[in-house]
Amino acid sequence: LKMYSKNLTIFSFSPTDKPRAKLTKGPTTIPVGGSVTLSCSVEPSAGWKYRWFRKTSDTSEVQIRTNNGENRYITVAQGGIYRCEGVRGNPAFTSNPSRDVTIKITFSNKVVVTRRPNWPEMFSGETITLTCEVQGGETTEWTYEWKRPGLATHRTNSKDWTFIVSQSSSGDYMCQCKLRDDRYSSTQRSNAITLSVSVNSLTGKPKAQLDRNNAELPPGGRVTLTCTVNSLSSFSYTSSSSSAWKYVWYRGENCSELLTGEEAVFPSNGEINVSEEGLHWCRGKRGQPVYYTILSDPISIVLPVTVSSQLPVMLIIGIIIGIALIILLILWWRYRRSK
């Protein structure tokens, strides 16, 4: 029903024909600490004041209180499911509410992922820590979500994620941060960081390799031993000795003697000079907690057989041969004389 007078237009509505409020959102990509503007309108627009409501998927609806008289525009810093409605007149006439609008806020701050240790290749059983940081949002309470293709999302309230790697840990890791009390407000995902994990098909661990510059000890000298850890990756055959490896040295049949500075000279981390004969071994270690490689195959260092050591033996052999010849000559002489 419509009634008209000279200066007044009156609209009469059934409940289903009441005007519906319309909710409009502004840009939702903002920096941490920023806000999003929402607007509400009802046509015809004269005389309306507006009420706002917010809920999340797991909470009941809450009315948003502001000091704005008309309340057509509000600024919010949280995501969620929003609606509005118009009210005017006395007694109050309420429009139909707007349709629910889901506001997802995306923070424009850059998310950076780092790793410790930052080795190009890791081995199954080593420990790594991935760190996710929101630049400019260091004081905000975040929930950190780690994503990797093919695996479930890992969530933590700490920016650090520490775990022991295995062969299945290889892949690209990305981090996204959400406000701890607001699942609708989040950062963009970080750039991917690639983790490469190698594993020995038989032992699981890499094996140290021991080499020498000489098999015999020179008189009064030393033999240089070199220990390395080689890559297990099918795409890399270079030594991994530069990736923070330190080396432990042993001597004896069953690695029974740990070599220290008293028994050897360490010209560098991967080299040792020894002056005693015997079996020698090595293995690599790195990281915290310490990760050890498999022992190398042993190398035997021997003393050379010198001329001075041969003379006593030759002298004794010569004396024995000489005595034997004298005895044979005497026996032959007595035999001839008896004839």
Q: Record the pTM.
A: 0.75
Domains in the chain: boundaries: 2-107, 111-198, 208-301
Residue 239 has pLDDT above 70, yes or no: no
Residue 5 has pLDDT above 50, yes or no: no
Task: Provide CATH code, domain 2-107.
Answer: 2.60.40.10
Residue 15's pLDDT band, with cuts at 50, 70 and 90, is low
Residue 238 is predicted with a pLDDT of 44
**What is the Cα 89 distance to its own chain's centre?**
62
CATH topology of 111-198 equal to that of 208-301? Answer: yes
Q: What CATH homologous superfamily does 208-301 map to?
A: Immunoglobulins (2.60.40.10)
Residue 305 is predicted with a pLDDT of 61
Dihedrals phi, psi of 337, to nearest 5 degrees = -70, -35
CA separation for the pair 257, 281 (Å, rounded): 10
Architecture of domain 111-198: Sandwich (2.60)
Please report, for residues 129, 169, 233, 274, 291, the alpha-carbon distance to residue 199 in angstroms, rounded to integers and kept in the order given. 19, 11, 8, 32, 14
CA separation for the pair 51, 49 (Å, rounded): 7
**pLDDT greater at residue 108 or residue 336:** 108
Instruction: Dump pLDDT digits (tens) for 36-92.
Output: 999 999 998 788 999 999 998 777 889 998 777 789 999 999 999 999 999 999 999
Residue 6 has pLDDT above 50, yes or no: no
The one-letter amino acid code at 32 reads V
Residue 159 is predicted with a pLDDT of 96
